[in-house]
Chain A
Amino acid sequence: MNAAVAETDHHDHGPAPGLMRWVTTTNHKDIGTLYLWFALIMFFIGGAMALVIRSELFQPGLQIVDPQFFNSMTTMHALVMIFGVVMPAFVGLANWMLPMMVGAPDMALPRMNNWSFWILPFGFGMMLATLFMPGGAPASGWTLYPPLSLQGGMAFPFLIFSIHLLGISSIMGAINIVATIQNLRAPGMTFMKMPLFVWTWFITAYLLVAVMPVLAGAVTMLLTDKFFGTAFFTAGGGGDPVMYQHIFWFFGHPEVYILILPSFGVVSEIIPTFARKRLFGYSSMVYATASIAFLSFIVWAHHMFTVGMPLSGALFFMFATMLIAIPTGVKVFNWVATMWRGAMTFETPMLFAIGFVVMFSIGGFSGVMLALAPVDFQYHDTYFVVAHFHYVLVPGSIFAIMAAVYYWLPKWTGNMYDEKWGKIHFWVSTIFVNLLFFPMHFVGLAGMPRRIPDYAVQFADFNAIATIGAFGFGFAQLIFVYVVFKCLRGGEKATDQVWEGAHGLEWTLSSPPPYHTFTDQPIIK
Chain B
Amino acid sequence: MIGGMNLQSGKITLPVLFLVPLLMFGFGYLMVPIYNVLCDITGLNGKTGAISISEASQLTMDEERLVKVEFTGSLNMYAPWQFRPEVTSMMVHPGKQYSTSYVATNKLEKPLIGQAVPSVSPGRAARYFNKTECFCFVQQSFEAKETLDMPLVFIVDPELPKDVDTITLSYTFFDVTDKQIN
Interface residues of A (CB under 8 A from B): 1, 109, 171, 175, 178-179, 182-183, 185, 187, 189-192, 209-218, 221, 229-232, 234-238, 240, 242-243, 246-247, 250-251, 283, 308-310, 313
A217-B29 contact given A236-B115, A246-B35, CB 8 Å threshold: yes
Q: What separation, in Å, do the CA atoms of A463 and B123 have in the docked complex?
A: 39
A209 B20 Cβ-Cβ under 8 A: yes
Chain A's nearest CB lies how many Å from the CB of B101?
20
Q: Does B31 contact A (CB under 8 A)?
A: yes
Chain A's nearest CB lies how many Å from the CB of B102?
16
B7 A214 Cβ-Cβ under 8 A: no
Chain A's nearest CB lies how many Å from the CB of B44?
6
Q: What separation, in Å, do the CA atoms of A171 and B25 have in the docked complex?
A: 12
Q: Which residue of the partner chain A has the closest CB to B119?
A: A235
Q: What separation, in Å, do the CA atoms of A192 and B1 have in the docked complex?
A: 10
Q: Which residue of the partner chain B has the closest CB to A183?
A: B11
B3 A191 Cβ-Cβ under 8 A: yes
B21 A213 Cβ-Cβ under 8 A: yes
A210 B181 Cβ-Cβ under 8 A: no
A246-B17 contact given A217-B25, A237-B181, A308-B123, CB 8 Å threshold: no
B25 A183 Cβ-Cβ under 8 A: no
Q: What separation, in Å, do the CA atoms of A229 and B177 have in the docked complex?
A: 11
A243-B35 contact given A210-B24, A217-B29, CB 8 Å threshold: yes
Sampled A-B contacts (7; CB under 8 Å): A179-B17, A183-B11, A189-B7, A191-B10, A232-B32, A250-B28, A308-B45
B76 A213 Cβ-Cβ under 8 A: no
Contact of B45 among A185, A240, A247 (CB under 8 A): A240
B28 A247 Cβ-Cβ under 8 A: yes
A216-B31 contact given A190-B3, A310-B44, CB 8 Å threshold: no
B3 A310 Cβ-Cβ under 8 A: no
Contact segment of B56-64, B86-94, B104-112, B168-176: B168-176
Chain A's nearest CB lies how many Å from the CB of B18?
7
> Which 7 pairs across A and B sit closest by C-beta, in order of nearness?
A236-B174, A217-B28, A192-B3, A213-B25, A213-B24, A214-B28, A229-B179
Q: What separation, in Å, do the CA atoms of A212 and B22 have in the docked complex?
A: 10
Q: Does B52 contact A (CB under 8 A)?
A: no
Q: Which residue of the partner chain A has the closest CB to B12?
A: A182
Q: Does B4 contact A (CB under 8 A)?
A: yes
Q: What separation, in Å, do the CA atoms of A209 and B21 have in the docked complex?
A: 6
Q: Which residue of the partner chain A has the closest CB to B35?
A: A243
A236-B176 contact given A250-B31, A310-B42, CB 8 Å threshold: yes
Q: What separation, in Å, do the CA atoms of A189 and B26 have in the docked complex?
A: 36
A231-B12 contact given A191-B3, A217-B28, CB 8 Å threshold: no
A190-B25 contact given A236-B117, A243-B35, CB 8 Å threshold: no
User: Which residues on A sit within 8 Å (CB–CB) of B36?
Assistant: 240
Q: What separation, in Å, do the CA atoms of A489 and B106 have in the docked complex?
A: 74
Contact of B76 among A109, A178, A210, A236 (CB under 8 A): A236
A213 B174 Cβ-Cβ under 8 A: no
Q: Does B96 contact A (CB under 8 A)?
A: no
Q: What separation, in Å, do the CA atoms of A238 and B33 have in the docked complex?
A: 12
Q: Which residue of the partner chain B has the closest CB to A171?
A: B21
Q: What separation, in Å, do the CA atoms of A102 and B7 have in the docked complex?
A: 11
Q: What separation, in Å, do the CA atoms of A400 and B52 have in the docked complex?
A: 62
Contact of B181 among A182, A238, A283 (CB under 8 A): A238
A214-B24 contact given A231-B181, A310-B42, CB 8 Å threshold: yes
Q: What separation, in Å, do the CA atoms of A238 and B117 have in the docked complex?
A: 8
Chain B's nearest CB lies how many Å from the CB of A76?
24
Contact of A237 among B17, B44, B179 (CB under 8 A): B179
B172 A235 Cβ-Cβ under 8 A: yes
User: Which residues on A sit within 8 Å (CB–CB) of B25?
Assistant: 213-214, 216-217
B124 A310 Cβ-Cβ under 8 A: yes
Q: Does B54 contact A (CB under 8 A)?
A: no
Chain A's nearest CB lies how many Å from the CB of B32?
6
User: Which residues on B sit within 8 Å (CB–CB) of A243?
Assistant: 31-32, 35
B45 A191 Cβ-Cβ under 8 A: no
Chain A's nearest CB lies how many Å from the CB of B58?
28
List residues 64-83 of chain B with CB under 8 A from any CB of chain A. Answer: 76
A190 B14 Cβ-Cβ under 8 A: no
B181 A178 Cβ-Cβ under 8 A: no
Q: What separation, in Å, do the CA atoms of A213 and B21 have in the docked complex?
A: 6
A235 B76 Cβ-Cβ under 8 A: yes
Q: What separation, in Å, do the CA atoms of A240 and B32 have in the docked complex?
A: 9
B176 A237 Cβ-Cβ under 8 A: yes
User: Which residues on A sit within 8 Å (CB–CB) of B45?
Assistant: 240, 242, 308
Contact of A187 among B5, B7, B17 (CB under 8 A): B7
Q: Which residue of the partner chain A has the closest CB to B18?
A: A175
B44 A309 Cβ-Cβ under 8 A: yes
Q: Which residue of the partner chain A has the closest CB to B176?
A: A236
User: Which residues on A sit within 8 Å (CB–CB) of B12?
Assistant: 178-179, 182-183
Chain B's nearest CB lies how many Å from the CB of A126?
21
The residue among B17, B18, B179 with the most chain A CB atoms within 10 A of its own CB is B17
Chain B's nearest CB lies how many Å from the CB of A105?
15
User: Which residues on A sit within 8 Å (CB–CB) of B3?
Assistant: 190-192, 283
Given A185-B7, A210-B21, A213-B25: 14 more A-B contacts, CB < 8 Å: A1-B11, A175-B18, A175-B21, A179-B14, A190-B4, A190-B7, A213-B21, A214-B28, A214-B31, A217-B25, A235-B174, A240-B45, A310-B44, A310-B123
Mask for B114-156, Cβ within 8 A of A = 1, else 0?
A: 0101000001100000000000000000000000000000000
Q: What separation, in Å, do the CA atoms of A215 and B179 have in the docked complex?
A: 25
Chain B's nearest CB lies how many Å from the CB of A382?
25
Q: Does B41 contact A (CB under 8 A)?
A: no
Contact of A192 among B2, B11, B14, B174 (CB under 8 A): B2
User: Which residues on A sit within 8 Å (CB–CB) of B178?
Assistant: 229
User: Which residues on B sit within 8 Å (CB–CB) of A179?
Assistant: 12, 14, 17
User: Which residues on A sit within 8 Å (CB–CB) of B76?
Assistant: 235-236
B31 A247 Cβ-Cβ under 8 A: yes
Q: Which residue of the partner chain B has the closest CB to A192?
A: B3
Q: Which residue of the partner chain A has the closest CB to B10?
A: A182
Q: Which residue of the partner chain A has the closest CB to B172?
A: A235
